[in-house]
Amino acid sequence: MEVPILKQGAVLIATFQAALSDADLNQLRSALVQQVVRFRSRGVIVDVTAMDVMDSFASRTLREIAHMIRLRGAETVIVGIQPEVAFAMVQLGLTLEGVATALDLEEGLAYLNQKFKTTK
Amino acid sequence: MAKRDESSELLRELVAHLRQNRTQLREEWVVRISETRLLTAMTKEEIFAEATSVYDSYVEALETETFEALQAYARNLSERIIPRGVETHEVVGIVLLLRDVLARSLFAKYQTDFKKLNRILDAYEPAANRIANTVAVGFVQERERVIRQQQEAIRELSTPVLQVRERLLILPIIGVIDPQRARQLTEQLLRGIRTNRAKVVVIDITGVAAMDVTVANHLVQTVEASRLLGATVIVTGLSPEIAQTLVTIGVDLGKMNTVGDLQGGIEQAERLLGYKVMALAEPS
């Protein structure tokens, strides 16, 4: 299942609708990295609220997305990680180091807007 | 089968004897209880009332050779007397006293016929021992249940997640953290972050006396999990001993934001949230 990517002003929003296969994750990564420059976006939000399991591949892909987006000149925020998922991830050592996280979409947008203001 | 019949026959005789001498034996028992200074937490009248019910349940258990009713009574009794500070040895003591009082009365009754006395005791002793056992086990089980219940209550009480300002939570931890409690703390904190939409959390561990590797690692994990939910964690009140332990065992505290005391932690949290606190006037 493909992840829809929505454009909202200077921000791209990708919302997971369900658990994703590895292929879907790879597809999402290349789509985001392409579109961030095509739309001249300054921020990317990946919403994982619907994910109830986060395995090592998914978490590595999210980290790669964040780092690649940074190289393409924008900021990434991962939002909506569930409490149980967060604790399970930490126990598996998947801490998404160097990646910004926020509680939900609203918080993620607030974080990016704050960032845009300070770097204007 | 014949032997069993005989033994029930004897028990019947025994029960009849105990019923007949109920008043006298019961009083003797109560006297023995106060002589040995058991159940000092209870008044004389209470002891007498309880002794009557215990005596009747005792005789009934001997008669029917079923212990359920006695077990239920023992549990009920324990429920009433445990809060008054009655100890295990007292409960076991009074039941053993009753056993002795009754045995003595049997000696007195059958002293002319040793053969019969022997057979009566053969029937009486196993039943009496089982009764003593049942009451003691009932008491201890009830006590353990109370202890478990209290532990549960303490655990519930000891992990409050408090909101002090919009988007700022504090989690004061007091007492010993075992792995189970640590897990519960983390769950409550993560849930609290979600429901209160917290951005900053201050975990105060002033009240924690010691910390081992497992718990320290758990703390680090809690900090990381909170970050995944978008909240920053500030840990305050690390005692010198804990700081020393953590450094010695080499826990990676690099990811942890620590401040000396709770006040400093809250001030830093306010800075992170963009609050500025100032006094309106000079305090008088």
Q: What is the band of B4 on the pLDDT scale with cuts at 50, 70, 90?
A: low
CATH for B2-155 is 1.10.490.70
Partner B contacted by A115 (CB < 8 A): no
The residues near B212 (Cβ < 8 Å, ≥ 6 apart) are B245
Mutate to test the interface with A, among B228, B252, B272, B273 (most CBs of A within 10 A): B228
- Please provide the DSSP assignment of chain B as one string: -HHHHHHHHHHHHHHHHHHHTHHHHHHHHHHHHHHTT--TTS-HHHHHHHHHHHHHHHHHHHHH---HHHHHHHHHHHHHHGGGT--HHHHHHHHHHHHHHHHHHHHHHHTT-HHHHHHHHHHHHHHHHHHHHHHHHHHHHHHHHHHHHHHHHHHHHT---EEEETTEEEEEEES---HHHHHHHHHHHHHHHHHHT-SEEEEEEEE-----HHHHHHHHHHHHHHHHTT-EEEEE---HHHHHHHHHHT---TT-EEESSHHHHHHHHHHHHT-----SS---
Contact B190 A86 (CB under 8 A): yes
Task: Answer yes or no: is A120 within a domain.
Answer: no
Q: Please give the average per-residue pLDDT across B252-265, as a whole number.
A: 84
pLDDT band at B181 (very low <50, low <70, confident <90, very high): confident
Task: Count interface pairs A-B at CB distance under 8 A.
Answer: 52
Reported as half-sphere exposure (CB side, CA atoms, 13 A), residue B249 has a value of 13
Specify if A33 maps to a domain.
yes
Say which CATH superfamily domain B162-273 falls into: STAS domain (3.30.750.24)
Give the pLDDT mean for B189-201. 93
A45: domain CATH number? Answer: 3.30.750.24
Which pLDDT score is estimated for B3? 59
For chain B, residues classed under CATH 1.10.490.70 are: 2-155
Contact B190 A107 (CB under 8 A): no
What is the distance of C-alpha B22 from the center of its chain? 36
Report percent pLDDT > 90 for chain B: 18
CB-CB: which of A89, A107, A111 is closest to B228?
A: A89
Q: With an 8 Å Cβ cutoff, is A24 touching chain B?
A: no
Spatial distance between the Cα atoms of A42 and A69, rounded to a whole number of angstroms: 9
- The answer to the question of residue A19 being in a domain is yes
Placement of tokens 């990564």 in the chain? A29
For the record, the structure tokens of A3 come out as 């992840």
The confidence band for A45, taking pLDDT boundaries of 50, 70 and 90, is very high
| pLDDT (0 to 100) of residue B158 | 66
The answer to whether A90 contacts B230, with C-beta atoms less than 8 Å apart, is no
B2 pLDDT higher than 60: no
Inform me whether the pLDDT recorded for B226 exceeds 90. yes
User: Considering its fold, how many domains does chain A have in total?
Assistant: 1
Q: Is the pLDDT assigned to residue A13 strictly greater than 90?
A: yes
Average pLDDT value for chain A? 90
Please indicate whether, in this complex, the C-beta atoms of A86 and B194 are within 8 angstroms of each other: no
pLDDT at B55 over 50: yes
Tell if the pTM clears 0.80, that is, is over it: no
Residue range of the domain that includes A64: 5-115
> Is 90 exceeded by the pLDDT of residue A81?
yes
Tens digits of per-residue pLDDT, B121-154?
888 888 888 888 888 888 888 888 888 888 887 7
Chain B neighbors of A83, CB-CB under 8 A: 187, 190-191, 193-194, 225, 229
Spatial separation of the C-alpha atoms in residues B25 and B131, rounded to whole Å: 17
Q: Provide ipTM, 2 decimals.
A: 0.81
| Region(s) of chain B under CATH 3.30.750.24 | 162-273
Chain B: closest CA distance from residue A90 (Å): 6
Q: What is the pLDDT of residue B63?
A: 82
**Mean of all residue pLDDT scores within chain B:** 84
Segment B224-231 shows an average pLDDT of: 92
